[in-house]
Amino acid sequence: MTAMSTSTSSTDLQALLGADADALLGYTAKAFPSEHLTLPGPDYLDRVFTDSDRNPTVLRNLGTLFNHGRLGGTGYVSILPVDQGIEHSAAASFSKNPAYFDPLNIIELALAGECNAVATTLGTLGLASRKYVHRIPFIVKLNHNAFLHVPNTYDQIMFGSVSQAFDLGAVGVGATIYFGSDDMDRELQQVTDAFAEAHQLGMFTVLWCYLRNSAFTKDGVNYEVSADLTGQANHLGVTIEADIIKQKQPENNGGYTAVGFGRTDPLVYDELTTDNPIDLTRWQVVNCYAGRIGLINSGGESKGDSDLAQAVRTAVINKRAGGMGLIVGRKAFQRPMAEGAALIHSVQDVYLDQEVTVA
């Protein structure tokens, strides 16, 4: 595999976006104007959290996150997440690059990529804490889907406690809720309690707001990534005081109407969104208290040579929609470390590029 550049110029960006370059970079949002949003920026914490109920230690730890790494001071974040060894099995996750069976290499990649933080398991950070806790902010992912049942089940259970995360020096905790799943109510209550405890101890909170229910697939279309359903998941996430929302970027819309459940409004589809991916992602931002809580999109699975172009495209859409950053894992760690770090840098370049503006 050819090594990637450590920076992405405007020319590179055009090339990576290909036929979509003009449509994405020149698009003006038509559905929900940016002036109605709270947007990322160097003063984001002052504008949003100083009037909140978050205590001074939470604010300090949020400041640690936002001021670390290559995007430090911009209001945007780049996080390396590696919990896929549980969610997708260690073999499926790390066989392409067995170096990452050694968890310390996960931290080294986050450092090489100059990320704002690393989000990974209690086991990984527990082994790495004394060596790395002063070098990069830690986010402990508290719950996981064990994925070792026959047949497969999707049930987030706690693998660690908030107090353990606090003891190893974490600045934040993360958790997943599978909205729409049979276990959603239990997960929602459990994560709500964990987030309240984390805030009491001074740690910020990150929620993976994922949809999971086979009923969300209708006529061969998976509406787990629809703008309307993911938007509502985001709204539930900010309601339990997630400080950052992690969400898959939408690929379609109309999950409510296609599946035929819940409540929505025709205005969502007629006036407040369009089919453009920037407008669809903006609907996710709108449902994060109109951007007061930051939206970071996930980078998705690794597909090989197209990873760089896909990650940069996702970053452009997220930034232009009013999002706060990208959380890239498999696309980075399933390749040699230097190439993984370069890919992360290329994503960061989108957020550093003043010519890539909010639509």
Question: For every one of its 359 residues, what pLDDT tens digit does the chain have, with 9 covering 90 and above?
Answer: 334 445 677 668 999 999 999 999 999 998 899 999 999 999 999 999 999 999 999 999 999 999 999 999 999 999 999 988 898 899 999 999 999 999 999 999 999 999 999 999 999 999 999 999 999 999 999 999 998 999 988 999 999 999 999 999 999 999 999 999 999 999 999 999 999 999 999 999 999 999 999 999 999 999 999 999 999 999 999 999 999 999 999 999 999 999 999 999 999 999 999 999 999 999 999 999 999 999 999 988 889 989 999 999 999 999 999 999 999 999 999 999 999 999 999 999 999 999 999 99
Q: Which residue has the tokens 């055009």?
A: 14
Catalytic-labelled residue, pool 141, 246, 319, 331: 246
Q: Which residue has the tokens 């109510």?
A: 185
Quote the radius of gyration of the chain (alpha carbons, Å).
19
Burial of 260 per CB tally in 10 Å (0-12, 13-18, 19+): exposed
CA distances from 77 to 116, 152, 178, 295, 297 (A): 6, 33, 24, 10, 11
246 in catalytic set: yes
